[in-house]
């Protein structure tokens, strides 16, 4: 009778409810907990959300607080983070494992297959490495002692060959250097195979081939005839030995190097006419002189008189710009003394107009020279560089434009 009375006193709640004292309250949803119970049957009390990342509830509940999130051990890594509806999930770090059927208090280190075993399954977080003896069909060939010895012998052979080749190269270089040194101190017939330097005489005293001597003789005779007839030598560029091979070495702007300028200048000077040297003709031919349009007078400081004392030279710069080719300007400017820094500065300041660069550099040269600046200096520079035709055209144009007139006081 007492047991029946106790059973009658027990309160039975629905599945979605929980008993709080004598009242059945509805459960809070997953991710929440009961902050305060209900006050009337089959109603919700006050539900509060769990703290994300700190605690959670996975199901509808009547708990008075959320469940704390678990933490991963030092030998584990997090695979699923903790949220308000699920706990944090962890697994062993790579290289370690823990079988699910065992109490995973500590992760175990993965095993390695022995040398004669083959790996069937790799180790993962829940299973160790699985090893087995390989079948004949899948067994990998292994280097035996014979193969290893063969490989070592081949390596030694290759190294030996390389060493022999290096020694041979060193010996050859040493022999060549020794022979050059011996020939430089004690020339012998055995040294005659070395190429000798070709020297081009520029003073007319050197000996050349028969053809060269004949050409020089013809050039000297023709030159004397033109001087006697008053023909301007600047109009003819076919004098013997005249060559302009140095022009091909120049660049097309004003940025050439000083070494190219020096080499080209020497080549142009070497191409000037030399005096005739022949056994059948006396060596008293007059030296070649630069001539102007006056018909035989060499260019000097008094050859041309400016008609506008302060402007004639500057106005002639436009004619020099028209006559002197772009690829020849660089060498010409340095020949008259313009510095490299000034040339580079003009290129930088006026990059798109090479004519304006040339004109401004000539103007700067005139300012630097002051009273010593003259058209004769510029014309002589062109003649020394082998640009006779350009010099002749400039002389003609400055006279036609009434910039200068010929000095006839000595005629």
Cα-based distances in Å from 374 to 304, 350, 395, 404: 9, 26, 13, 11
Q: Are 389 and 352 in contact (CB under 8 A)?
A: no
Which pLDDT does position 2 carry in this prediction? 54
Q: Rounded to the nearest 5 degrees, what angle is found at the Cα of 399, between the Cα atoms of 393 and 402?
A: 140
Q: Is the pLDDT of residue 101 over 50?
A: yes
Q: Give kind and range of the element (H or E) at residue 73.
A: none
Residue 292 has pLDDT above 90, yes or no: no
Higher-scoring residue by pLDDT: 211, 118: 118
> Regarding predicted confidence, which is higher, 183 or 41?
41
Q: Strand 76-80 to strand 89-92: parallel, antiparallel, or no bridges (unpaired)?
A: antiparallel
| The pLDDT value given to residue 357 | 92
pLDDT band at 220 (very low <50, low <70, confident <90, very high): low
pLDDT bin (cut points 50, 70, 90) of residue 243 is: very low
Span 347-366, pLDDT tens digits: 999 999 999 999 999 999 99
Rounded distance between C-alpha atoms, residue 223 and residue 69, angstroms = 113
Whole-number Cα distances in Å, 73 to 62, 81, 108:
30, 14, 13
**CA–CA distance from 394 to each of 5, 297, 324, 363 (Å)?**
140, 17, 9, 17
Residues contacting residue 110 through CB under 8 Å, at least 6 positions apart? 95, 96, 97, 123, 128, 129
23: which strand partners?
20
Kindly report which listed range (112-126, 222-236, 299-313) carries the lowest average pLDDT score: 222-236
Place of tokens 């062109």: 382
3-state SS class at 146:
helix
Residues 141-183 pLDDT 10s: 555 555 666 777 889 999 999 999 999 999 999 999 998 888 7
**What is the percent of the chain where pLDDT is above 90?**
46
Question: DSSP assignment of 67-133, as one string?
Answer: EEPP---TTEEEEE---SSS--EEEEPTTEE--TTS--SSPEEPP---TT-EEEE--BTTB--EEEP
Q: What is the pTM of this model?
A: 0.32
| pLDDT-derived band at 19, boundaries 50, 70, 90 | very high
Q: Where are the alpha helices (DSSP H) in 238-325?
A: 258-270, 312-323
368, pLDDT greater than 60: yes
pLDDT of residue 304: 81
Six-digit token string for 104: 């995973």
Distance of alpha carbon 346 from alpha carbon 365, whole angstroms: 13
Over pLDDT 70: what percentage of the chain? 64
């Amino acid at each position: 009778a007492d047991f029946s009375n106790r059973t009658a006193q027990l309160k039975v709640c629905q599945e979605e409810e929980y008993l709080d004292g004598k009242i059945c309250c509805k459960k809070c949803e997953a991710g929440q907990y009961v902050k305060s119970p209900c006050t009337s049957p089959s109603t919700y009390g006050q539900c509060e959300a769990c703290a994300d990342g700190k605690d959670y509830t996975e199901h509808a509940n009547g708990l008075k607080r959320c469940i704390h999130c678990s933490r991963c051990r030092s030998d584990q890594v997090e695979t699923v983070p903790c949220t308000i509806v699920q706990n944090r999930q962890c697994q062993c770090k790579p290289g370690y494992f823990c079988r699910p059927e065992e109490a995973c208090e500590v992760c175990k280190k993965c095993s390695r297959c022995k040398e004669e075993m083959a790996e069937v399954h790799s180790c993962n977080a829940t299973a160790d490495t699985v090893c087995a003896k390989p079948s004949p069909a899948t067994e990998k060939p292994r280097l035996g002692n014979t193969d290893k010895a063969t490989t070592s012998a081949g390596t030694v052979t290759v190294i030996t060959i390389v060493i022999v080749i290096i020694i041979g190269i060193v010996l050859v270089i040493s022999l060549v250097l020794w022979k050059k040194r011996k020939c430089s101190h004690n020339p012998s017939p055995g040294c005659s195979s070395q190429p000798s330097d070709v020297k081009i005489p520029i003073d007319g005293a050197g000996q050349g081939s028969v053809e060269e001597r004949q050409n020089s003789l013809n050039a000297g005779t023709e030159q004397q005839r033109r001087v006697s007839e008053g023909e301007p030598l600047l109009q003819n560029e076919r004098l013997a030995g005249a060559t302009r091979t140095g022009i091909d070495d120049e660049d097309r702007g004003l940025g050439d190097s000083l070494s190219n300028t020096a080499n080209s200048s020497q080549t142009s000077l070497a191409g000037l006419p030399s005096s005739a040297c022949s056994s059948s003709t006396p060596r008293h031919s007059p030296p070649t002189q630069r001539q102007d349009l006056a018909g035989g007078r060499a260019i000097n400081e008094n050859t041309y008189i400016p008609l506008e004392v302060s402007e004639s030279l500057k106005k002639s710069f436009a004619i020099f710009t028209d006559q002197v080719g772009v690829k020849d300007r660089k060498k010409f400017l340095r020949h008259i003394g313009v510095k490299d820094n000034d040339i580079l500065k003009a290129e930088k300041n006026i990059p798109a107009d090479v004519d304006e660069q040339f004109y401004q550099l000539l103007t700067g040269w005139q300012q630097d020279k002051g009273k010593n600046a003259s058209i004769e200096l510029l014309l002589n520079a062109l003649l020394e560089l082998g640009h006779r035709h350009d010099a002749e055209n400039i002389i003609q144009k400055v006279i036609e434009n009434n910039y200068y007139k010929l000095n006839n006081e000595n005629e």
